[in-house]
Every structure is written in C-alpha cells, then in structure tokens.
Chains A and B, each alone.
Chain A
Amino acid sequence: MRDIPYRIAMQEALAEEMARDEKVFVVGEDVQAGTFGVTSTLVQRFGPARVIDTPLSETAVAGTALGAAMAGYRPVADFMFADFIYIAGNEVLVNAAKWRFAHGGKVSLPLVFLAAMGGGARNGPEHSMSPESLIMHTPGLKLAVPSTPYDAKGLLKSAIRDNNPVVFFYHKRLLGLRGDVPEEEYTVPFGVADVKREGTDVTVVATALQVQHALRVADEVKDRVSVEVIDPRTLEPLDIDSIVRSVEKTGRLVVADEDTERCGVGAEIITQVIERAFDSLDAPPKRVCAANLPIPGGFIEASVLPQPASILAAIEAVTGRTLKA
C-alpha cells in the first residue's frame, strides 16, 4: 500500500484506463497542463490526440464528448469547475442524460464529465458551487463524489468503464489529501456506500469534503458519543439500504453535504430514510449544508459553507448532548 494524494490517484486512474482502452481520451480546457493537476502528465504519455485542449467553450467540450461517445469512444470531458456545467447545461442535463432513452436504447453514451466542486478556496460565488442536487435531480446521469484517494481512483475507473454518462465531482480541497492506495488494479463499484467509521449513537451521512470533516468531529467527541460516518460515494445510484441499516441501529441521522440546503442532497436522503425507517428515528434528522445563499468570495465564505463546527452542532441537536469541550 502506498500513501498518495487524491489528485495523483485520479491521474493514475486516467492513465491506467487510457492504457487499457485506446478509445479513452481526455478533452477540455487546458487539460494538457491540468489546472488542478488531475490531467497533468497524460499528454506526455498519450500525446495531444488523446489529451485534447479546447477553446473556451464548455458547450463545445461537452458536445465533443457526447458526439465521440455516440461514435464509440469513451471520452472524459473536464469542465474544470463544476459551476461551468450550467454553461453546458443542454449538452449535459438534456442531451447526454436523455439520448440513450430518446434513441430507444440504440446508442450507448460511455462518457465522463469531470469537474472540481466545492468552496473553501475563496473562489467566489461562480467558482465554488457543489451542484450535486442538480445532477441527482436529472434522470439519466450517474454521480460520483469521492472523499478519499482510494475512492477517487476506484470510482473514476468504474466511471470510465460505465456505458452510461457519469458526472464525477472531485473536491478542490481534497486534491492534496493523502491516503492509502493499493499498487494493484482495483475498482470501486457504484451504488455501494462505505462505512468510514463505525459507531452506535448517531449516523452521519457525508459526501466529499464533509466526510473528512465528519471523521475529524467523530474523533474529537469519541469519548462522549459514538458517531458512525457513512460515505455514499455515489449519489446516483444511492445506497440507501446501507444508510437505513445504520439509522435502524443508531436512531439518529445527520446528513452533511456542501450543496445548498434547499432541495439538496440532505433533503433527499432524509426523506428517503423517513419513508423507509420512520419508526427507527429517535430524533428529527438534521441537515448540514451550505446556507440558502450564494457562496461569498473571500474569508466570509466560511459563514455560508458547512464547517466541522456545523456537524458538531447537528450531532448535539440530534443526541441532546452537549459535546463542546
């Protein structure tokens, strides 16, 4: 086992899949240099024909990928910022999501839309969003949101091999996170949640950066409350069974996610849990999300984005215990 950063784990996944299947290629703005270091070094190994820099048009990036996928390639299109998916909305949310259905199943669309999500980098309202609920709300798209280097590599390999469109959000503030990644080949399947930490008093379902926040909080309060941290890893498909099983054990649920609270990931997961395990709940579930506001630029973004303290407060609310030291 090696200890490598999330960014390098993603780079390895791309390189391994490009080596494994010559139909795999990367397309996007500045992917040869790699703005976030995810696609860096690939052009040296696979050449500019398979690592294609494009003009500044997200619609063109998405459209290129979509057409190539219909022609039998397995493109990985990088939007750089998840916020830019809105520009390519018609290609991603309408065409990519629906064309397999619209064509009666006669075409496959094995393509991946890569994008960096999340705030915390003081990038302002147009470069800090985590539009997970937008993707979850769109039938026809899968969504991966890895929280560790291991999951980032395994999920990206699965995404590339998937015959349907996958949106893959990597979190800006996780890119340097180091973690164990095996030397040998592996993939992480979609729709299988991972229990990142076992506990008995409260279930915290968290995605992406919030998983790391939740694990830190769980460790801080471990003498006073036993927190179970579950990472769904993919939000579509969603492994609700694992979440329900955990809530049946703990009776208390917190969902921590960086998308805006209203109509968000927390709302969806909590609703599904209430529908399936109402009688197991010992307290009203709580959401920990971005406030219903644009994410401000500069340091005040912390007042809108969910923080470890927000997760701690939610755990206190659902357990009725005071945990602050």
Chain B
Amino acid sequence: MAGYVAIPKLGMAMIEATVVKWQVPEGGHVNRGEVVVTIETEKTNWDVEAQDSGWLHLLVPEDETVPVGRVIGLLAETEAELATLQAKGAPVIMTTAPEPADEPGPGAAPPPAGEAPAVPGRQGATRASPVAKKIAEEHGIDLSAITPTGPDGRIVREDVERAIAARQAAPAPVAAPAPASASASAGIVDGKRVAATIPIKGMRRAIAEHMHRSLQVAAQLTYIGEADMSGTVALRRKLIAQEASLGFRATYTDIIVMAAARALRDVPILNSSIVGEEIRVWDDVNIGVAVALDQGIEGGLIVPVVRNVDRKPLRQVSKELAALVEKARAGQLLPDDVSGGTFTVTNLATVGGGWFVGTPIINQPQSAIVAIGPVTDRPVAIDGQVVIRPVMPYSLTYDHRVVDGAPAARFAARFAELLSEPALLLV
C-alpha cells in the first residue's frame, strides 16, 4: 500500500475534526502534495495534502466527526490493490492513541493485525532510523519528503543518501532548506543577513492560519475609547489591602473580565457566533483571556477560557484565571481549557508602555474582542475643571456581519461605565 490519509493534529487543543469535503472521489487518483480532503476543526478549515500518491479508498464519509489521528482514507499503489481495499470496507484505523483527556470510544480500536498500514509510531514523528535522522539533519534534508524503503516502513540511511544525491543533481534552491526548529542560521538571503529561521509549524502555524482566516471571513472594524478607571483603581487598592483575609489577589484583568461579562449580558449580540446561516447568541458568557508565552524568538500565544464569568463572584473569576494562566505558561492546558470561548479580552498593558490603542483581530468564531491598554494618569475635564484621572484606553473590534455600530457603542459605554463605577458589578 502506498500510504494513508489521517486527521492531522493542527493545534494543541485539537482533539477531533469533521470531514467537510473529499476533494478526490472514491477510487480517484491523487498525487503526493495535492489536496485530498478538507477538514474542519473548532478553529479552522484545513486542506489536507496527500503524503503519498495513489488510488484513494475512503474510510470516513463527509460530515462525520472523527478523532485526531484517525485514518480516514487509504492510498493504494495499484488499481488491483484498490479493489482489494474496497472489498474490505472501511476498517477503523488510528495512527495514535486517543488523547488522554478523551474517553476511549469505538473509534479508538487498534489497527486490525495484518491490514494496518505503516503508520507513524508517534504523532508527528517521521519513522526514520537514528542514522537516517542524523544524516538528514546534517544535510538539511526534510525527512517528511522522503519515501521510506526500510523495514517496517522506516526511512533508512540509503533513502536519505538518495535524497542528498537527488538534491545535488537538481539545480540549487533559492533559499536554504529550513532547519527543524528555530535556530540561528548563518547565511545571506536576498542580500540580507539571516539571524534566525523559524519554521511555520505547530503553534506558530495555528496562530498564522487562524489570524489570517479571521480577517478573511469577518467584517472587522475597531471602536476605540477610554475608560475612567478611578473607581476600579480604588476598588483594587482596597482588595489588595484585604488580600490576606480575602484569600486572593485581584488584578486589573480580573475586574476588566468581570466588567466585560456584565456588559455582554446587557448587550448580548456581541456574545455570539455565526454558525452556518444563523447567528447564535450564546447564553453562556465564556471569556477567553489571551496569554503570551515565552517560547524563544518567535513567542507564542494561547487563549484559556473562564466559563460563565457573568455568574461568578470576582474571587472565583480571579482564582480560575490565575490557575489557567499558570497552566498556560507551564504548557499544561487541556483541550477544555481553551475551547468554548464566546468573547476575548487581551491585555497588553503589562507589555506595552504609555498610552496606546490597537486593532485586535477577532478570535473566530466569536464576534468581538477587546484589547486593553495601560492605566495612565491623564488630564481630564470634569465640571469645567482639569483634573488628573487614571485613564485606560481600550480597542473593541467587532464583526459588522453580526454587530452594528450602535450596539457596539452601547457595549463600549457600558463596559467603561462598569469600570468607572465597579460598584455596579454588584447590581
């Protein structure tokens, strides 16, 4: 058998995907590198390319949702082999064990002996012998582009040596092959010296795809305003003074998340998603809070979700958020921790200095996101007097397909009012 088509793991939190459209029909021929199927995850649609050439036998129909690692199609080397595969029907084959958080379901059966295709032993790992890996690394050869000929479908030294010879025979590529991970790579490209080369994969790829797609699918515009934070600053000061007896340390983010949740209850259209031909206005107010990760030169970003913020006291929101941030930084977030958000808050105050606003990009399939700037003392005219007040700029991006200007402005005004007078959060 030439190979197989499996559900790839596209993001840390991805546990399953829906087969949206087979781009190649049953029994059709596909060449390596061609799109064979489009799948849908919670976050994105994804075109899966064939890793091998062959005649396709479908194991999973369109619209079916299956776990990550499930083999959804087999690639036969010959038409005769295709007929054999078709005669066998649609066995359930997994390339990986189910996610630890996942209940083992009927789809998690091990491959039936004798007819399982050669599949990677570990998700994402190409099966190659140690010496093949070493030589490939030394020569900058991408193992995923090599057809294995070794025992058990493993790439062996000869395969890599053949690829090196083929590359030497072919005209020199424009750019050096990307190393396996971010690394300082000497050399000059287009007359510019290269400091590092970062492969677009893993979390970087997920962010890149997700952000680009969000701008493509939504009609986004950004409303910029300022909130008088004197009430919030005073409240936080009192809470900090009582920290020991209260048992938690309130942050501005905690109070801002609370205010956003209450404002969403008052203007619920911002707490919605487009699903198919409908707008779903959510009853749950689940606020995602963007957390920057320190992952070397390329950084990283993940958005854990605090659920039902509108129904929880500040103490609980604060504790849950603190726990999620800690898990995020430790890389221990589970799929449930990052899914189900209905609105997002991103706080750049601790990173950026001075007064600033931005144009945040909506976290699909939500309809709005608010970015928070730093609280700074600024002159404000009140009752004909210039006074100094702590002021916080905010930037509300919303999807005009769903939200019109008036409700967006109403939400912004309510959000600012709650921050100015946080006692209203008690109401």
A281 touches B150 (CB 8 A): no
> Is B370 in the interface zone, CB < 8 Å from A?
no
Q: Write out the residue numbers on chain B whose beta carbons fall within 8 Å of the beta carbon of A278.
A: 130
> Is A55 in the interface zone, CB < 8 Å from B?
no
In chain B, positions 118-164 with a C-beta closer than 8 Å to chain A are 129-134, 149-151, 154, 156-157
B129 touches A282 (CB 8 A): yes
A280 to B130, CA, bound (A): 6
How far does the Cβ of B160 sit from chain A's closest Cβ, in whole Å? 10
> Could you tell me the dominant secondary structure of chain B's interface residues?
helix
B150 touches A283 (CB 8 A): yes
A73 to B225, CA, bound (A): 101
A283 touches B129 (CB 8 A): yes
Could you say which of A279, A281, A320 contacts B151, with CB atoms under 8 Å apart? A320
In chain A, positions 214-253 with a C-beta closer than 8 Å to chain B are 251
How far does the Cβ of A160 sit from chain B's closest Cβ, in whole Å? 43
Q: Write out the residue numbers on chain B whose beta carbons fall within 8 Å of the beta carbon of A283.
A: 129, 150-151, 154, 156
A320 touches B134 (CB 8 A): no
> Is A4 in the interface zone, CB < 8 Å from B?
no
Q: Write out the residue numbers on chain A whose beta carbons fall within 8 Å of the beta carbon of B156.
A: 251, 282-283, 320
B131 touches A282 (CB 8 A): yes
CB contacts between A and B, total, < 8 Å: 34
Q: Write out the residue numbers on chain A whose beta carbons fall within 8 Å of the beta carbon of B132.
A: 282
B157 touches A320 (CB 8 A): no
Chain A's closest residue to B158 (CB) is A282
A282 to B151, CA, bound (A): 10
In chain B, positions 380-413 with a C-beta closer than 8 Å to chain A are none
Interface string of A305-323 (1 = CB under 8 A from B): 0000000000001111000
B131 touches A280 (CB 8 A): yes
A189 to B156, CA, bound (A): 37
Chain A's closest residue to B150 (CB) is A320
A319 to B133, CA, bound (A): 17
Chain A's closest residue to B155 (CB) is A282
Chain B's closest residue to A286 (CB) is B151
Q: Write out the residue numbers on chain A whose beta carbons fall within 8 Å of the beta carbon of B154.
A: 283
Chain B's closest residue to A278 (CB) is B130
B134 touches A318 (CB 8 A): no
Nearest first, the 7 A-B pairs at minimum CB distance are A320-B151, A282-B129, A279-B134, A282-B157, A281-B130, A282-B131, A282-B156
What are 25 A-B contacts with C-beta separation under 8 Å? A251-B129, A251-B157, A279-B133, A279-B134, A280-B130, A280-B131, A281-B130, A282-B129, A282-B130, A282-B131, A282-B132, A282-B150, A282-B156, A282-B157, A283-B129, A283-B151, A283-B154, A284-B151, A317-B151, A318-B151, A319-B151, A320-B149, A320-B150, A320-B151, A320-B156
Q: Report B's interface with A, CB cutoff 8 A.
A: 129-134, 149-151, 154, 156-157
Q: Report A's interface with B, CB cutoff 8 A.
A: 251, 278-284, 317-320
Question: Contacts A282-B157, A320-B151 given; 4 further ones with Cβ under 8 A?
Answer: A279-B133, A282-B130, A282-B132, A320-B149
